[in-house]
Amino acid sequence: MTDSSTSPPTALRSLRDQQLLEIVWPDGRTDRLPYYDLRCACPCASCIDEITGRAILRREAIPADVAPKDLHFVGNYALGIHWSDGHTTGIFTWDRLRGLGQPHDA
Res. 5 pLDDT band, cuts 50 70 90? confident
Instruction: Quote the pLDDT of residue 102.
Output: 72
Residue 4 near residue 93 (C-beta atoms within 8 A):
yes
Per-residue pLDDT reduced to its tens digit, 47-99: 999 999 999 999 999 999 999 999 999 999 999 999 999 999 999 999 999 99
Whichever domain contains 70, its CATH number is 3.30.2020.30
Q: Is the pLDDT of residue 1 over 50?
A: no
CA distance 22 to 24: 7
Residue 28 near residue 22 (C-beta atoms within 8 A):
no
Domain that holds residue 69: 11-100
Helix (H, G, I), strand (E, B) or coil at 55: strand
- Tell me, yes or no, whether 66 lies in a domain: yes
Instruction: Quote the pLDDT of residue 38.
Output: 97
Number of domains in the chain: 1
CA distance 30 to 90: 22
Residue 71 near residue 80 (C-beta atoms within 8 A):
yes
